[in-house]
A = this chain, B = another copy of it.
Amino acid sequence: MTKPASILPVSSADVDAAARVLAPFAVRTPLLSSPALDRRVGSRVFLKPEMLQRTGSFKFRGAFNKLSSIPEADRGGGVVAFSSGNHAQGVAAAAQILNMQATIVMPADAPLSKRERTKAYGAEVVLYDRDREDREAIARDIAAKRGATLVPPYDDPLVIAGQGTVGREIAEDMAALGVSPDIVVAPASGGGLVAGVATAIKARFSKAMVMSAEPEAFDDHARSLRAGKRENHRAEGRTICDALMASIPGEITFAINSRLLAGGVVASDAEVGTAVGFAFRELKLVAEPGGAVGLAALLAGHIVTDNKNVVVVLSGGNTDAEMFTRLISSS
């Protein structure tokens, strides 16, 4: 780091403030260990299972922190968000708690379970064609017409600070165990989660290496971190990680990640499938593909971990029975 972290868009004090806002509503997820996993990778591994979070992913944290910041006078117009699924549920659940109307713009090919669950939180769902339509334009149009507040999925300091509470809890629990994390890996799409996690982890454990994990076909963080500037992912790829399909890191998230991250790792869809199967068989956790990409990189040997203390964020578990069945049966 050439400049102090205090000049970054999000500080650890912002994460502390988010933790206070979230305390009565978010699940404080545990830090888990698995002797089977430790034996398999030859390191001490700690898992942060955000599938156990309200709505089944970490996204509730950032969404709730953001919505809580909206002044009472502006809440009548409701909120609008675009999301492939987990942010949708996070915003919908946060809006329900805060008695606000939520409208979610979702791709028509998002997993059915994510669409249904978003509606179950009382949100209105507007579908769009991922290949032909601009979801941001649709969302902005709705925001303008209804006077709704747009809730960005990642490129927002309050959203990032909310996701940072994942890292804050990891840091607290590791400190309580008397163990320093050497490596912390978190999935990245727009980069909000890993930016928040890095902010909180580096504040307490300055030597920890924080890394983003992505699907091979959506490797924009890995590429951007190597290049030192925001770059698109390699090609028009497809991946089973429906939660991790952002094509380029966020501006605000990358301002943080380019300063705090040690690099990015990737995993193939096959490796992700293996990780989802491993989580089923050995960890007894339901991970969605995108939520397991860090574990996938670890199991595939893409992270050099020998005798290190490794923390892996499992970011979500919202997957259809059909997809889950396919992955646990074939892996």
Q: Which residues of A contact B (CB under 8 A)?
A: 27, 30, 32-36, 49, 51-52, 54, 56, 113, 280-287, 317, 321-322, 324-325, 328-329
Contact = CB atoms under 8 A, between A and B. Distances in A.
B284 A52 contact: yes
Interface SS of chain A: helix
Q: How many copies of this chain?
A: 2
B35 A54 contact: yes
Contacts of A52: 32, 34, 283-285
Contact of A286 (B33, B56, B285, B321): B285
Contact of A328 (B51, B284, B285, B321): B321
Contacts of A321: 280-281, 325, 328-329
A54 B49 CA distance: 17
A271 to B, nearest CB: 18
Contact of A284 (B35, B36, B317): B317
Contacts of A324: 280, 328
**Of residues A30, A281, A287, A317, which shows the largest number of chain B Cβ atoms within 10 Å of its Cβ?**
A281
Contacts of A54: 35-36
A122 to B, nearest CB: 12
Given A49-B284, A280-B286, A322-B329, 4 more contacts: A27-B32, A27-B34, A51-B284, A285-B285
A237 B113 CA distance: 35
A266 B324 CA distance: 29
B27 A30 contact: no
5 contacts: A27-B34, A30-B32, A280-B286, A281-B321, A284-B317
A217 B245 CA distance: 48
Contacts of A35: 27, 54
A166 to B, nearest CB: 15
